[in-house]
Structure 1
Amino acid sequence: MDYKLLSNEILSKLLKADDEIAFKEIYSRYWKLLFQTAYYRLGSKETAKELVQNVFLNLWEKRNVLIIDKLENYLQITIKNRVINYIETSIVQRKYQEHVVSSYDDRTMETESTVQYNELYFALEKALSELPVKTREVFQLSRFEKLSVKEIAIQMNLSEKAVEYHITSSLKALRFKLKDFMVACFILGSYHNF
């Protein structure tokens, strides 16, 4: 019997009866058509081949339970569905990867900022500890507690000129000692404290 002369309807019945030669005829008859359909939509030969192979593998594995009225229509619909599923899965994977990369970048930036902030904080603490006591107190009242020159003068029993001197002196010393951190200060928005 020449299987090439058989109709799709007969080939489908033979396939259901576990006829491997019928399956091979269906494969050789429709492989190229299904490949072209998949390749046209995907633009990838490897992916198109893989999807077509999966269609035929599924056809053989489920041959006993499949109800196929029109073989060509069944195969065309099946490959189109495989292509759609592949595209949808690819989109979901890409979005997930973008999310992971974005989250990683955000966490990395947060970690780097935290490290820089901590380094700056400890450098500032060290630089402040090296200032004369009165200069350090004036600086802290001015920059951390936001007191005016007049308020500091009253609180510390100093002239306003003396307070201005201590502020100027402390700023000059801190700028020198923290010059390597000035970029970090700008990034972290802390420069205005100096």
Structure 2
Amino acid sequence: MDLRVLTDEILLQLLKANNELAFKEIYTRYWQRLFETAYHRLASRETAKELVQTVFLRIWEKRHSNHITHLQSYLQTAIKNSVINYVAATLVHKRYLQHIINTGSTTYQGAESTLTIHELSQAIDKAVAALPAKTRQVFRLSRFDHLSIREIATILNISEKAVEYHITQSLKTLRSYLKDYLDIAL
């Protein structure tokens, strides 16, 4: 069967039924447009490719829970949001580095007392990895994918109260795990 002639709606139904060929057709049909959108805004081929790959990875991972009605619009919105999140994260990273540069040389003496972004990033990754599976999943959707409590509850098929509980637990664990880093930063 030639999937190129099928509508997006039929491809989405096949995708929900775990049809890898339907996923490949969706990818083939839309990857170039998404790449161009991301590249136009970022002017970085590698970053644009990574963001497009992430969008398609999420489509595959959430194929059973996604309720997409207009695929092209959904994908364009997803890539635009990914670009916005990437730019925002980059700005935060730059501000933090500037803050470390501005305050680090006058507040702290010596290289060993300066908290680096790399160390903090590794500590956060370890702390997140130490969370229970469901709590980690909720935390990632909330903090990394920037989904609302309602969206997370829908995706994971749990109550909004359960989502709030998992977020609270993850933040308590992270605060505890990162206590030493927070003390140094303050």
- TM-score bucket of the superposed structures, by smaller chain: 0.5 to 0.7
TM-score by length of 1: 0.55
Question: Once the 2 structures are TM-superposed, how far is the Cα of residue 24 of structure 1 from its aligned partner?
Answer: 0.2
2:92 and 2:104 mapped to 1: Cα distance?
18
Question: Once the 2 structures are TM-superposed, how far is the Cα of residue 104 of structure 1 from its aligned partner?
Answer: 1.6
| Alignment coverage as a number of residue pairs | 110
Secondary structure in 1 aligned to 2:57? helix
Larger Rg: 1
Find the counterpart in structure 1 of residue 7 from structure 2.
7
Question: Once the 2 structures are TM-superposed, how far is the Cα of residue 107 of structure 1 from its aligned partner?
Answer: 3.0
Secondary structure in 2 aligned to 1:66? coil
Which runs of structure 2 are paired with 1:16-31 in the superposition (5 Å)?
16-31=16-31
Secondary structure in 2 aligned to 1:63? coil
2:107 and 2:67 mapped to 1: Cα distance?
53
What is the identity, as a one-letter code, of the residue corresponding to 2:44?
S
Which runs of structure 2 are paired with 1:34-183 in the superposition (5 Å)?
34-107=34-107
Secondary structure in 1 aligned to 2:64? coil
RMSD after superposition: 1.4
In structure 2, stretches of 5+ residues that fail to align are 111-186
In structure 1, stretches of 5+ residues that fail to align are 112-194
TM-score by length of 2: 0.57
Percentage identity across aligned positions? 53
What is the identity, as a one-letter code, of the residue corresponding to 2:54?
N
1:89 and 1:107 mapped to 2: Cα distance?
25
1:41 and 1:106 mapped to 2: Cα distance?
37
User: Deviations for 1:136-166, whole angstroms, at most 9, x for unmatched residues?
Assistant: xxxxxxxxxxxxxxxxxxxxxxxxxxxxxxx
User: Deviations for 1:65-119, whole angstroms, at most 9, x for unmatched residues?
Assistant: 00000000000000000000000011011000000011122236x89xxxxxxxx
1:73 and 1:95 mapped to 2: Cα distance?
33
1:36 and 1:51 mapped to 2: Cα distance?
11
Find the counterpart in structure 2 of residue 165 from structure 1.
none
